[in-house]
Amino acid sequence: MGDEAVREVLALSGRAMPLLREWTAGQPRYGVARALLMLATGDRLGEAALKDELVIAYEDAQAAGAREASLVYGVFLSVLRQYRLAADHLVAHFAQWPADEVAGLMLDAFHACGDPAYRERGDALIEEQYVRAGPDSWAWAGWLAWARVEAGRVEEAHELAGRALILNPRAGVAVHARAHAEHELGAGPAASAALDRWLADDPRALQFRHLNWHAALQSIACGDFPDARRRADAVLADSDVGMRAATNWRLLLVGQEPAGRTDLARVRGLLAAPGGMAEVFHTFNLALALAVEAATDDLRALARRAAGDPRAEYREALAPVAEALAHLTAGRPAAAVDLLTALGEGVERIGGVRVEREIVQDTLARALADAGEHVRAADLLHRRTATRRHHTYERLLAEAPAAPVPAPAP
């Protein structure tokens, strides 16, 4: 049971959660099973309940052995968002248990730190573990493909993802990495069709909604805006505030009707809730949701709040982005241009991954075009239009808008 459950978790399969629950129920004193269940579902528990579960898991894991205790301790740090400590722990864990695939489930800690040095350290670690695991490890090939695409080594990432999918056609990390690579390549309808075929074999796949979001981005890239709206409305849940906002803001930037919106009161509630601004990337997504609703005053308030935050990434990255969105929704594109141009590479401090941060460049291109600086907008997007096979979206960004941006919510 344990080996099968771990394989399905590594594949991000629709069978993963039922098998994890069955494994935990069948071996309630096996700490690794309980910890992996918490890694997958811990965001639904309060912090106190989550800590209680992990303390039990750790005590049980200590009885099972040193590797088990180390794995559970890594989960403990990861789910409680102690990302630097988790990353440091993983370095020590892999030194003792090289290429441990279960530990690979926590590799996100290196990027979640928001520190470029940690990101580089994590990428180097993945490369080392891939070599140690050998070329037949589909799990490590998938993780290395992910690291490659985030480093901008798109062709290598695409090849590695393909290799992982030959070894295991249901490799979830690999298909996700391939989706990111194909976004960078502008693969268009071919990429969406491949994702649809992959998802058809497992409609309960843990990434079902997220991979549909990637397919919607491919539809936007090639100008099939009705398909993007259809996917957002048919697949994204009310809780998918970030993906819905990222889809709709892109549609609005090129003068298109958005998909179904997120209720503005819900966005305000998420910002005001305890922990609403605990992570900068989550807060950035809420800013996009406010922009979709043309909530200029809310964006100004968020910008002021971020500017007064003791955390540098909020002051120096989120605050100017939120203020720029406020200017753009209020019809002041030149002011948005100044803020986003000054931000430059600092946008990486917002967190997320390349495709998620790219929307800031989209917003700058739209602001430039709205300010009448179409040549600058085209120059900004030149790398994308020169390397992507489908780039209707980029062309529209650099042109005069077909409608005001954004359209106010009804």
* pLDDT tens per residue, range 145-172: 999 999 999 999 999 999 999 999 999 9
Q: Which two tokens stand for residue 274?
A: 């305890």
**pLDDT, position 102:** 97
**pLDDT, position 228:** 97
* pLDDT tens per residue, range 292-345: 999 999 999 999 999 999 999 999 999 999 999 999 999 999 999 999 999 999
In this structure, which amino acid lies at residue 309?
A: D
Which band of pLDDT confidence, cut at 50, 70 and 90, is reported for residue 406?
low
* pLDDT tens per residue, range 164-198: 999 999 999 999 999 999 999 999 999 999 999 99
Q: Which two tokens stand for residue 210?
A: 């997220």
* pLDDT tens per residue, range 199-210: 999 999 999 999
45: exposed, middle or buried (Cβ count in 10 Å: 0-12, 13-18, 19+): middle
Rounded-to-integer distance, Cα 60 and Cα 180, Å: 39
Rounded-to-integer distance, Cα 408 and Cα 105, Å: 41
Q: Which two tokens stand for residue 67?
A: 């590797």
**pLDDT, position 275:** 82
Spatial neighbors of 366 by CB under 8 A, at least 6 apart, are 253, 254, 328, 333, 377, 397, 401, 405
Average pLDDT of the chain, as a whole number: 93
Q: Which two tokens stand for residue 91?
A: 């370095």
* pLDDT tens per residue, range 76-131: 999 998 999 999 999 999 999 999 999 999 999 999 887 889 999 999 999 999 99
25: exposed, middle or buried (Cβ count in 10 Å: 0-12, 13-18, 19+): exposed
pTM: 0.93
